[in-house]
Structure 1
Amino acid sequence: MGLTLCCWLRDGHLKKHQRSTSAFCPLSVTPPIRLAVLLDTPPVAPGNPRSQWSPTHLSPNLQVCPSGGRVRRGRVEQSSDAVRGAVGAVTGLHIWEVLWEEQQRGSHALLGVSTHKCPLQVSGYTALIGGTSCSWGWELSTNQLWHDGKRKRRYPRGGATDVLSVPDRILVVLDADAGTLGYVVDNCYLGVAFQDLPKGAELFPAVSCVWGGAEICIRYLCGTTRDAPALQALSRLSVRRALGSDRSRTLALPPALQRLLLDTAEEVQQDL
């Protein structure tokens, strides 16, 4: 049964999206099965340690709120400032949600991952995350990828000549086992942005910015090991894909199955 579901999902059924006018949807790629299951998994409960910015590993021009989930940049000039997550990942597949209003980005707004060696503040305006060999970043204002101080290709692949406007909500997808980093925008997986990330090193979600007053929120959604997805998760994904947006048909099912199929994270966790 599990093998049948894997084949069914692999053969193109993962790429079904609700009708959308997003410019990113035509550029989306089919996510691997592990990622597809993870993207369909209810998020972990708020308060997870990975849902916090580090209160110590950040630029002096940044301040983390008491809950740890939001960081704010002071109104200073001629400075590029970065912060990394409080907890990173050495193994496994992980997804973080980052909320960063487009109006609060300006130039040199980068989102990605870094090791603990990445510098967190430099004078002037520059691509700080991606500015050294210890970090990898996507510049949201230009769609350019940065690593080792060098501008790489534009992301996602196949994009138009014009810069695409990246919405406020972005998902960071880190596969520490495979050594890859990608992003999800408008519910569209845009493929691998970086590969050959160092295996065995702890990698942290990270941002760098130059916009005075910018506020950036982070939340850890979910993660999984390199093991194959559980049959229950594959079954949930296949049923939800078949139902599409019409989830009202689940009302004829027992309450436990309804909670499993609907987007109610807290109820699913309580039931399990």
Structure 2
Amino acid sequence: MKAARLQHPSRLYLQTRHGPVVLVSAVSAAHPTPPSSAFLPLAAPTSSRLTLTLNSSPVSPGDRHSRWSSVHHSPHFILSACKQEATRSPAELSSDGARAEMGVRSGLHVWELTWSLKHRGSHAAIGISRQECPLHDSGYKVLVGGDSRSWGWELKTNQLWHGGRRCRSGAANNFRPQSSNSHSTKEAEGPLLIPERVLLVLDADAGTLGYFVDGSFLGVAFRDLPSGVELFPAISSVRGGASIRLRYLNGTTSNPPALMALCGLSICQHLGQQRQDQAEKLPLPPFLQRYLLSCF
């Protein structure tokens, strides 16, 4: 048996003598979107590579990828003892940024950024930057995305920034959900409120950056990121008291996912969380039963 992509680009099939069998559908995300989520209509398909990465156990919270840089941040940002939290001190007419201690040059990587809605203010941006991205400037402005060396998402207006300009296109740009009634479709009065927890999804091999919000992958926000260049999670803020926590969840290499992992993911998705204890009842060797239990 071998894995192959047949006809449908968002599904992975297993070719058997009885015909192709669906292993993973990219439409089904690792973390189901809550039914009440306003982001559900905006959800984009996730690749099997991203789905497996999100389903993998998070790395240790003490991983160095979870730390803000003690050197590369504005003087108005103060880091916690563990360097996982950056807090901006009150400062007039100042835009301030910080970037992670460690960047990546290849692979697919996912970080979690936690930023309270009460302490965002205007110009609150999260994204990816190169090492030389400016992290301090006078006045109030977006720094992450404010030049050609960074790519950012401004959370209040839901606008994407790069090269000092707002981007006119992108999956995460200016979210305004539409009514499901085609006869009375109209845009919401303002952009959606972004919750405090946002996932950065950087595929350094494909040169793309996307965001995961409220259980929904919002698709590719930026393309054509530089290849082979070290890229870092980055933030910028103008709000005194803003506190942003960084957590590296997991990553994978550019190698294709293992067939065993794809099979296990497909079975677990079909069983669902409510029936995970039934993995032991499947007609499989104990080793495979234990493997499936570890997938939940």
In the aligned structure 1, how far is the partner of 2:199 from the partner of 2:82? 20
What is the CA distance between 1:132 and its match in structure 2? 0.4
Question: 1:58-89 CA distances to partner (integer Å, 9 max, x unpaired)?
Answer: 00000111101111100112111100000001
My pick for the range that moved more, 42-51 or 248-257, is 248-257
1:23-42 equivalences in 2 (<5 Å) = 23-42=38-57
CA contact (8 A) 1:2 1:234 kept: no
In structure 2, what is the equivalent of residue 3 of structure 1? 3
Partner AA of 1:256 in structure 2? R
Distance 1:2 1:70, change over 3 A: farther
- SS of the residue corresponding to residue 49 of structure 2 reads helix
Q: 1:88 aligns with which of 103, 115, 123?
A: 103
Kindly tell me the number of residue pairs found equivalent between the two proteins.
Answer: 262
Aligned to 1:67, the other structure's residue is in SS state: coil
Q: Does 1:20 align with 2:35?
A: yes
User: Aligned pair in 2 of structure 1 residues 18, 194: CA closer, same or farther (>3 Å)?
Assistant: closer
Equivalents in 2 of 1:14, 1:203: separation in Å?
Answer: 28
Q: Give the aligned CA root-mean-square deviation in angstroms.
A: 2.0
Q: TM-score, normalised by structure 2?
A: 0.83
Deviations 1:35-70 (A, max 9, x none): 111111111112111010001100000011110111
Counterpart check, 1:156 vs 2:156: no
1:131 aligns with 2:146: yes
Cα distance in structure 2, aligned partners of 1:237 and 1:32: 12
- More moved, 245-254 vs 134-143: 245-254
One-letter code of the match for 2:291?
Answer: L
Q: Which digits, 9 at most, give the CA deviation of each residue in 1:196-228, with x for residues without a partner?
A: 111111000000011111110001111111110
What residue number does 2:73 align with?
58
Q: How does 1:162-201 map to 2 (within 5 A)?
A: 162-201=190-229
Larger relative contact order, structure 1 or 2 (CA cutoff 8 Å, min sep 6): 1
Equivalent residue number for residue 121 of structure 1:
136
TM-aligned CA distance change 1:18 to 1:62, over 3 Å: closer
Separation in structure 2 between the aligned mates of residue 12 and residue 91 of structure 1, nearest angstrom = 22
In structure 2, give the amino acid aligned to 1:87: M
Give the 3 Å change call, closer, same or farther, for CA 87–12 of structure 1 in structure 2. Answer: closer
- 5 Å-filtered alignment, 1:210-229, equals 210-229=238-257
Under a length normalisation based on structure 1, what TM-score does the superposition of the two structures give?
A: 0.90
Matches within 5 A, 1:66-77: 66-77=81-92
**CA deviation string 1:84-141 (max 9, x = no partner):** 0000010110000111111110100000000011000001110110000000000010
How has the CA–CA distance of structure 1 residues 2 and 241 changed in structure 2, closer, same or farther, with 3 Å as cutoff? farther
Structure 1 residue 174, shift from structure 2 partner: 0.4
Give, in angstroms, the shift of residue 19 of structure 1. 4.5
Cα distance in 1 between the residues matched to 2:61 and 2:206: 27
Change (3 A) 1:18 1:167: closer
Counterpart of 2:257, as a letter, is P
Which structure shows the higher helix fraction? 1
Instruction: Spell out, residue by residue over 1:221-257, the C-alpha distance to the aligned partner (whole angstroms, 9 max, x if none).
Output: 1111111001232123212211223134346575733
Q: Would you say the 8 A contact 2:46–2:217 is kept in 1?
A: yes
* CA spacing shift, 1:191–1:125, aligned 2, 3 Å: same
Structure 2: 5+ residue stretches without partners: 5-10, 14-21, 178-186
d(CA) in 1 for partners of 2:269 and 2:76? Answer: 45
Pick the structure with greater CA Rg: 2
- Calculate percent identity across the aligned residue pairs: 45
